[in-house]
Every structure is written in structure tokens, then in C-alpha cells.
Amino acid sequence: MSKIIKVGLLGLGTVGTGVYKLLEKQKEKLLLKSGTNIEIKKILVKNKDKERPVDKSMLTDDWQEIINDPEIQIIVELMGGMEPAKGYIVEALQKGKHVVTANKDLMAEYGQEFFAEAESQNVDLAFEASVGGGIPIIRPLKQCLVGNDLTEIFGIINGTTNFILTKMTNEDVEFGDVLKEAQELGYAEADPTADVEGYDAARKLAILSSLAFHSRVTFKDVFVEGITKISSKDIEYAKELGYVIKLIAIGKNTEDGIEVRVHPTLIPNNQPLAAVNDSFNAVFVKGDAIGEAMFYGPGAGELPTASAVVGDIIDVARNIVNNCTNRINCTCYDKISIMPKDEIKTRYYIRLQVQDESGVFASISSVLGNQKVSLASVIQKQINEKNEAEIVIITHVVKEKQLMEALKLISELPIVSEVSSVIRVEDI
Amino acid sequence: MSKIIKVGLLGLGTVGTGVYKLLEKQKEKLLLKSGTNIEIKKILVKNKDKERPVDKSMLTDDWQEIINDPEIQIIVELMGGMEPAKGYIVEALQKGKHVVTANKDLMAEYGQEFFAEAESQNVDLAFEASVGGGIPIIRPLKQCLVGNDLTEIFGIINGTTNFILTKMTNEDVEFGDVLKEAQELGYAEADPTADVEGYDAARKLAILSSLAFHSRVTFKDVFVEGITKISSKDIEYAKELGYVIKLIAIGKNTEDGIEVRVHPTLIPNNQPLAAVNDSFNAVFVKGDAIGEAMFYGPGAGELPTASAVVGDIIDVARNIVNNCTNRINCTCYDKISIMPKDEIKTRYYIRLQVQDESGVFASISSVLGNQKVSLASVIQKQINEKNEAEIVIITHVVKEKQLMEALKLISELPIVSEVSSVIRVEDI
């Protein structure tokens, strides 16, 4: 075994470039920090001839050159997406190479398969950067908090939507306009679907819940709703009622199974998450011993994410040096069922367009009452001269299924012209 | 080696009892979590006959029974204080036993000695519980953030003083009264010196700074000032000026050396630490790659601290199972000087009692001006009929030494009857 641990880097986008820069900057200190020297040997890119701020001799467009290089012990996958990244990771593990990845898409869907392969080959699979950018969260869950039975993990884990919602809240602008601006600034991608529809957060929640509850949760288990339908009007009403709207990811280990959901959520103004703005992320953990703890920091970005990746590389290198790779691998020793969506219990914010006639509110509240939906707050406002009014309701806790049935009946009332918004409310 | 890893527990106070309970509760899961069974074999107490909620056959008042038991592989030191805890830890390490401790007093003074011993014996020394109670912070610094050059670490790391200051702020009561209440509630000890004088926070800061800056910082390096002189009047003025008073621990790695200090501090209302109340703790970290991250949670208490201790025990057990103890030991590979107190630069809040005569403020500001102390805010109020007034000043950044010289000159002015308060101000 070489005294220099050689790394093969897959992908040289934002995070890949950050990792390259950080390893260069830390060059002199890596031996002191990890007990060994660490060097990138090869970098897989699509186009070798593109101008890049790295040593050109490292670049290759041929995966075979990396996977078949016996000197390369750690593969750092930063390409993102499904294929070919998935195939490369599996092949690397099968060849006995350690893998560090920031790929939440893959970890949320194929974590179990990867871990089985890593375990059988006695190699490491590290993925701190897959959730919360630079925030230390994976390792604290696997190590520091392992003495707990964790009951909840929730937070803001998508920077793009938090940037958009923060701007909508502070500047009273609509979703479409902010999205366009975010795309121009590089905070949102050209195809923003994964972020704005909540898929990215749902993948990260699947990873966090698997770790927190020691039971495999995958992307498809998570109930997801994005932020595209949130209007500045809802944000205004929320303010009036003492709430802020955030895209919140919630994982709970309940007696009826694991509840996992990502959706726009009204949270109270004084909840610490209400103050997590722009592209920052924060994750709350609740457990029987710790009570609660919170981890806050930059949820994305070149260097913050590189911080997590390089932390992983150094930790894997320490394991190699100490001959104890595969020291902590898959921690999903339990098998807990996923709670069906209909069974989720929460509170709801509902905005309705109605005819401004006497008895309107009575009809609506009678429908809700029949469905056992009780009300916590109500605002009714005349919105124009045409005899139209807007009613905003916040309910007490109710099962999703019951609420949906009540909403169906309400939308059928002749005096209700539209159910404009339905947003969940959490007093977390 | 036994298939059950046996633990010797030293001390059965609040945290010791918590660790006992938590290991009992987790009994069935320890094998799944750590790869081995873990059991407490013996518990060292002063009085074996006292009624306690544990299996009595484990109790011993004889250290020799524990240290000479070859089955006991991990010593968990939760006695606190200096001796005999220090002697026990050294002896345990010398005998090749792994040590888990929550003892900040010892780690802040003898960390280097302990690590040298652990390294020479190839055993583990874990101390997650020594700072921030249950908050994961030691391991994130040693592992997740190791790719960074960290520049700052600061926060609220003493629960007792934060409880007292929170109560003083919310209920407009004086220090002495709140302290008495805190003692009655068990939030403060009978002898509260270590907490209220800032020594406890200074020890924790020494530990955090050593880890963050990879250079040994000990308790005696830290400039400390306690909260005993803070009056509700200062808290009121701070509010008026948009600040909250907290006991803040600050570590900075500057070009002029490591700056480490603990003192009551005015921080802006909108700084996240301003919202950390009661006995909660929070630690901010700044680094070249991560930018900033924050860790928040319960800073003390039976089960939160036990959460950290049990996390350490499980991690040491994993190292034993994987034959890689001493995997990460002392990380102080650097030797950076400590900045002398006089060189510290910060802003100051100063409250003065003066004669309410024309020209008073002119004389004071002229003295300050001569010493190159410039002013950011000023409040002047008549306080009684006897021609006495109070002046409150917030300065711009100035060196400690210069400020102290200016204060000496001001206190000698005939129109100044008293310099009532001098509190540092940080726009962290």
C-alpha cells in the first residue's frame, strides 16, 4: 500500500472544483490531520479540452483509466444524478475501492444496495455531503447521537426553495418572478423541478430518516409537495396570523410507523427555523436522551459542500491507515413500516373564495364540523365590490384523509367559488 | 477479549445515573449499534450503602477493584473535579484501558498529558460530554470539519449563567435574587463560583479552541470575567440600544495569535445567539470552507450529557471491535502563541455616574478622543433631583489596553463620581 493515498475524482462541476481547491489548500496539513498524504490522481470529466483551473494531466474522459488504476483507493463521486454515477459507484465498491459521494439521489434510492456491497468488500461508503451541504449531520447521527432513540428529525434542507420563500416573504413578490431571478443568480438550476417540487428535500429526508430511525426509508416513501403554488397572498395571511411559510421536511418515528413528508408549512414566527433564511439549512433532532439539538449552516455551495467531502476523504484515509475500513457501515438494523399518507395528522391553513352572503361561514363551518375538523383561527375579508370575499381558516389537528373529504364537500358548496390554497401548519 | 465489553463507571451523580439508565434502556440495541454487547461491571462511589436506583452488587468504594479488573476495558470518569479523578484517568490509561470522560476541568488543563499517555498505550480517550452537554461538537470538529482552516469558535457554553441572564432579562430582577432561585431549583450549585465567574465556560473554550485551531490552549490562557457585576440596569440599557447581554466564549485564530476570552457581552438582538435562552447552549464555528455553522442543544442535564457519554462509549466499543483504538487522538499538531489580553480589540459599553453639569459630556469625550477611543452611541439621563446623571456609551473597536487607560483618566475626572459598568460589545 502506497504511503500516499490516491483519489479518483468523478466530476469537476461546482463541488468537484471546490474539493480540488480545498485539497490543494490543505496539502501540507493532510498528513498531520489524517496520518497520511492524500492526492488526487485522476479526474473524470466529459470534455478534457475545456479550460479548467486544475492540473490538466489529471483529466481523463475514460472511466476505465480510473477504475483500473490499482493505485487509486478512494473514488469521490461528484457527478450527481443517476447514471452513469450509479454504475461507477457499484463498480468501485465491487473492486474494493472506498467511495465518498455527495449524491443524495443515489443514496436515497440505492443506499441499501451500496451498503451491502461496501460491507461485503470491507470498504467505506461516506456521504456527509449528501445532506445539508457543509453542515455536519450524518456523522453526528451515526456516532454522537447513537445512544438515543430518536423520535423526530425535521428542518429546512433545500437551499433553493428557502432562498425563494425568503425573498417572497421579505419583498412581497410572486414565485415565478423570484424563480427567474434565482436562476439568473445561479441559485436555481435551468430545470428547477427537483428543487421547487420538493424532490431534492424528500431525498435528503429519506437519508436522514434512515439514519435517525435505523430503518430504510427511500425517496418513494416520502409524501412530497412543492412550493410552486404558494402565492404572496398566502405569505401575507400567514404573517397576519403569526406564521412564516417554509419548505419543511419532517420525519417522525411514531407508534403507527415512520411518517415522512416534505411540504410548504406554516411555522410559528418564534420557531428557530423561522429565522433560517436565504440558502441556509437547519436540521432539528429530537430524542429520548438528547431532548433536542439543532444543526445550522450553509446547505449548498462550492466550498461548504467541499468541506463535507474533504472531511469524509480524511476520515476514510484514517480508516485505511488504521486498517479499519467498514468500521461503521449501514445502521439500518430495524424494519419499521411507513405511515400511509392518509393517516398523517397535522393542522391546515385553508384559503377560500366565497360569495359574501350572510350564512356563508355558517355553511362552511357546519361542513367542517360534520367532518370533525375544528377551527383554531378564522379571517374573513371582502375582496372586491362584486360581492366576493375571502375566508382563511387554520384548523386544529386532523387526519389528512378527513380534511381532504371535508375540502371536497366544501368545494361543492354553491357559495364557494374556489379553494385557493391548502397548506399544512406545524407547531414544531 | 470478551464478547461483552465491560465498563467501569466512576461516579454516580447526575450524569453517572443518566449513563446507567441510558445503557440499561439501550441494552438490547447495543449489539446492533456497536457490533458488541456493552455492560457496566462496576461503579465507584464514595458511599456503598446509600440508596441508589442501580444494581447494588455493582457498587464499590475501592478503586483497586476496578483498575485491577482485567475484564474492564473502558473507564468512564464522571466524578468531576481534579483529584482523585486525574490520578484515576492517568492510571487507567497507563494500564491500557480506554477512557471516556465528561471532565472539562481536567481536559482543559491536562489534555496534552492524557493524550500522550493514550497514544503511547494505543487506547482511546473520548470527551464529547466535556463541552456543550449533549450537543455533538467535539467529534464534528475532529472529523466533519477537519478539511477546514477554522478561524473562529464562539458561543454560549455555560447553562447556569445563561439561565440567570435570561431570567434577569425577561423579569427585570437582580443577579443575587436569580442566583438564589437557581440554586433552589438545582440549576446552580451551592458554590456557584465556577459557573458565575466564567471558569467553567473558560475551560470549555480551552478545549474547543485546542480542537478548532490544532494548538494546545489551556484554562490559564483564557481571559475570564464573570457575570456577578451585571445589573438589571445594564440589561435595560442594552435593550434600549438593541442588544442582549450573554456570557459569550470567544476563540479566534488571528495573525497575532490565538485570542481566547469569556466575558459578559452585549450582542445584537438579531444575532442567533441572542435567542439561545435558559440553560441551552450554542456554538458557532467559522472556517475557510464551511463559512459558518452552528450547533445548538441542551448544555447540561442528566440525560443530554449521558447521550454524549454513551455515544462515546459506543464509538470506543466500535474501535475495540475493529481493532483500531487510538484512531483519532490528539489533533494539536500546531503551536500557536496566545494573544496577550492587552492586545484584544473589541467594542465597549460603559456606564458612568456623573454630575449633571454643562460640559460634562464634552470633558469625557475629550478624554476618550485623546486616547483614540471613538464613540458609536451615547445615552445621557438625569437620574435624580440631586443633580446626578448617568451616561451610557458604546465605543467603536479599540484595544483593551487603550480603553483601560482612557477609563482610568475618566474615573479621575472630578465630575465623574463612578464608572459603574464596563462590558464588551461584539457584533459577531
Q: How distant is the alpha carbon of residue A349 from its chain centre?
A: 23
CA–CA dist A412, B398 (Å, integer): 69
H or E segment and range at residue B160: helix B159-171
- The pLDDT assigned to B187 comes to 84
**Cβ contact, residue pair A323, B324, below 8 Å:** yes
- Judged on CB neighbours under 10 Å (0-12, 13-18, 19+), A112 is middle
Residues contacting A83, CB < 8 A, separation 6+: none
Q: How distant is the alpha carbon of residue A398 from its chain centre?
A: 26
H or E segment and range at residue A153: strand A150-156
List pLDDT tens digits, range B341-378. Answer: 999 999 999 999 999 888 899 999 999 999 999 999 99
**Cβ contact, residue pair B322, A324, below 8 Å:** yes
User: How far, in Å, are A157, A224, A277, B37, B269 from residue A153 at the CA level?
Assistant: 11, 16, 19, 27, 28
Q: How many CB atoms lie within 10 A of CB A396?
A: 13
Which residue in A292, A294, A311 is closest to B143 by CB distance?
A: A311
- The pLDDT assigned to A59 comes to 97
Residues of B in contact with A124 (CB under 8 A): none
Q: At A85, is the secondary structure helix, strand, or coil? A: helix
- The pLDDT assigned to A1 comes to 44
* Domain residue ranges of chain A, discontinuous segments joined by +: 4-132+302-321, 138-297, 342-425
Q: Where are the beta strands (DSSP E) in A356-415?
A: 375-382, 388-395, 398-399
CATH for the B138-297 domain, from 3.30.360.10, 1.25.40.10, 3.40.50.300, 3.40.50.460: 3.30.360.10
A101 phi/psi in degrees, rounded to 5: -140, 150
Residues contacting A69, CB < 8 A, separation 6+: A6, A8, A41, A42
CA–CA dist A311, A299 (Å, integer): 16
Residues contacting A177, CB < 8 A, separation 6+: none
**B128 in contact with A at a CB cutoff of 8 Å?**
yes
Which of the residues in chain A have pLDDT under 70?
1-2
Strand partners, A153: A251, A285
- The pLDDT assigned to A297 comes to 97
Q: How many CB atoms lie within 10 A of CB A190?
A: 5
Residues contacting B150, CB < 8 A, separation 6+: B141, B212, B213, B253, B285, B286, B287, B288
**Cβ contact, residue pair A318, B308, below 8 Å:** no
For the annotated catalytic residues of A, the residue numbers are 204
ipTM score: 0.95
**B142 in contact with A at a CB cutoff of 8 Å?**
no
- The pLDDT assigned to B2 comes to 46
Shortest distance between the Cα of A76 and any Cα of chain B, in A, equals: 15
**B399 in contact with A at a CB cutoff of 8 Å?**
no
Strand partners, A267: A244
Which residue in A147, A294, A307 is closest to B148 by CB distance?
A: A307
Shortest distance between the Cα of A360 and any Cα of chain B, in A, equals: 43
CATH superfamily of B4-132+302-321: NAD(P)-binding Rossmann-like Domain (3.40.50.720)
**A289 in contact with B at a CB cutoff of 8 Å?**
yes
CA–CA dist A428, A204 (Å, integer): 19
CA–CA dist B164, B170 (Å, integer): 10
- Judged on CB neighbours under 10 Å (0-12, 13-18, 19+), B387 is exposed
Q: Which of A15, A25, A146 to mutate to test the interface with B (most CBs of B within 10 A)?
A: A146
Phi-psi region of B96 (alpha: psi -120 to 50; beta: other; left: phi over 0): left
**DSSP class per residue in A7-44:** EEEE--SHHHHHHHHHHHHHGGGHHHHHSSEEEEEEEE
DSSP state of A337: P
Q: How distant is the alpha carbon of residue A249 from its chain centre?
A: 7
CA–CA dist A287, A272 (Å, integer): 18
Binding positions of B for L-homoserine are 189
**DSSP class per residue in B175-194:** HHHHHHHHHHHTSS-SS-HH
Which residue in A298, A311, A322 is closest to B147 by CB distance?
A: A311
What's the sign of the alpha-carbon dihedral B92, B96, B102, B105? positive
Query: Catalytic: which of B86, B204, B252, B286?
Result: B204
**B56 in contact with A at a CB cutoff of 8 Å?**
no
**B273 in contact with A at a CB cutoff of 8 Å?**
no
- Domain at A342-425: CATH code: 3.30.70.260
Residues 13-52 of B with CB under 8 A from A: 18, 22, 25-26, 29, 32-34
**Cβ contact, residue pair B315, A143, below 8 Å:** yes
What's the sign of the alpha-carbon dihedral B11, B15, B17, B23? negative
Q: On the CB side of B362, how many CA atoms lie within 13 Å of its CA? A: 3
Would you say B246 and B263 are in contact if contact means Cβ atoms under 8 Å apart?
no
**DSSP class per residue in B133-152:** TTS--HHIIIIITTTS-EEE
Residues of B in contact with A331 (CB under 8 A): 33
CA–CA dist A36, A314 (Å, integer): 9
**Cβ contact, residue pair A147, B22, below 8 Å:** yes
CATH topology for B343-425 is Alpha-Beta Plaits (3.30.70)
User: B232: which 3 cell numbers?
Assistant: 438589571
Q: Is A133 annotated as a binding residue?
A: no
Q: How many helices (H) and strands (E) does chain B have?
A: 14, 17
CA–CA dist B210, B219 (Å, integer): 11
Q: On the CB side of A398, how many CA atoms lie within 13 Å of its CA? A: 24
Q: Which among B176, B172, B195 is positioned nearest to B80, based on CA atoms?
A: B195
User: A424: which 3 cell numbers?
Assistant: 399544512
Strand partners, B101: B77
Q: How distant is the alpha carbon of residue A85 from its chain centre?
A: 20
Would you say B160 and B192 are in contact if contact means Cβ atoms under 8 Å apart?
yes
Residues of B in contact with A319 (CB under 8 A): 324, 327
CA–CA dist A9, A316 (Å, integer): 15
CA dihedral of A90, A92, A98, A103, whole degrees rounded to 10: -50
Q: Is A159 annotated as a binding residue?
A: no
Shortest distance between the Cα of A297 and any Cα of chain B, in A, equals: 4
List pLDDT tens digits, range A189-216. Answer: 999 999 999 999 999 999 999 999 999 9
Active site residue B252: no
CA–CA dist A106, A89 (Å, integer): 10
User: How far, in Å, are A41, A139, A314, B141 from residue A321 at the CA level?
Assistant: 18, 19, 10, 20
**Cβ contact, residue pair B146, A331, below 8 Å:** no
**A233 in contact with B at a CB cutoff of 8 Å?**
no
Residues of A in contact with B318 (CB under 8 A): 327-328
- Judged on CB neighbours under 10 Å (0-12, 13-18, 19+), A387 is exposed
Cα Dmax for chain A: 83
Q: How distant is the alpha carbon of residue A247 from its chain centre?
A: 10
Which of the residues in chain B have pLDDT under 50?
1-2
Q: Which among A302, A247, A256, A316 is positioned nearest to A93, based on CA atoms?
A: A316
Shortest distance between the Cα of B298 and any Cα of chain A, in A, equals: 7
**DSSP class per residue in B296-365:** EEE-S-HHHHHHHHHHHHHHHHHHHHTT-TTSS-----B--PBPPGGG-EEEEEEEEEEE--TTHHHHHH
- The pLDDT assigned to B385 comes to 75
Would you say B205 and B260 are in contact if contact means Cβ atoms under 8 Å apart?
yes
- The pLDDT assigned to B1 comes to 45
**Cβ contact, residue pair B147, A288, below 8 Å:** no
Q: To which residue does cell 391553513 refer? A: A349
Shortest distance between the Cα of B32 and any Cα of chain A, in A, equals: 7
Crossing angle of the two packed helices A232-240 and A159-171, in degrees rounded to 10: 70
What's the sign of the alpha-carbon dihedral B332, B335, B336, B340? positive
Q: On the CB side of B13, how many CA atoms lie within 13 Å of its CA? A: 13
Residues 295-354 of A with CB under 8 A from B: 295-298, 301, 303-304, 306-311, 313-315, 318-319, 322-324, 327-328, 331, 333-334
Q: Which among B137, B188, B190, B136 is positioned nearest to B162, based on CA atoms?
A: B188
CA–CA dist A243, A223 (Å, integer): 23
Shortest distance between the Cα of B391 and any Cα of chain A, in A, equals: 34
**Cβ contact, residue pair A145, B319, below 8 Å:** no
User: How far, in Å, are A36, A93, B17, B110, B297 from residue A1 at the CA level?
Assistant: 12, 18, 46, 36, 43
Q: How distant is the alpha carbon of residue A390 from its chain centre?
A: 34
Would you say A121 and A96 are in contact if contact means Cβ atoms under 8 Å apart?
yes
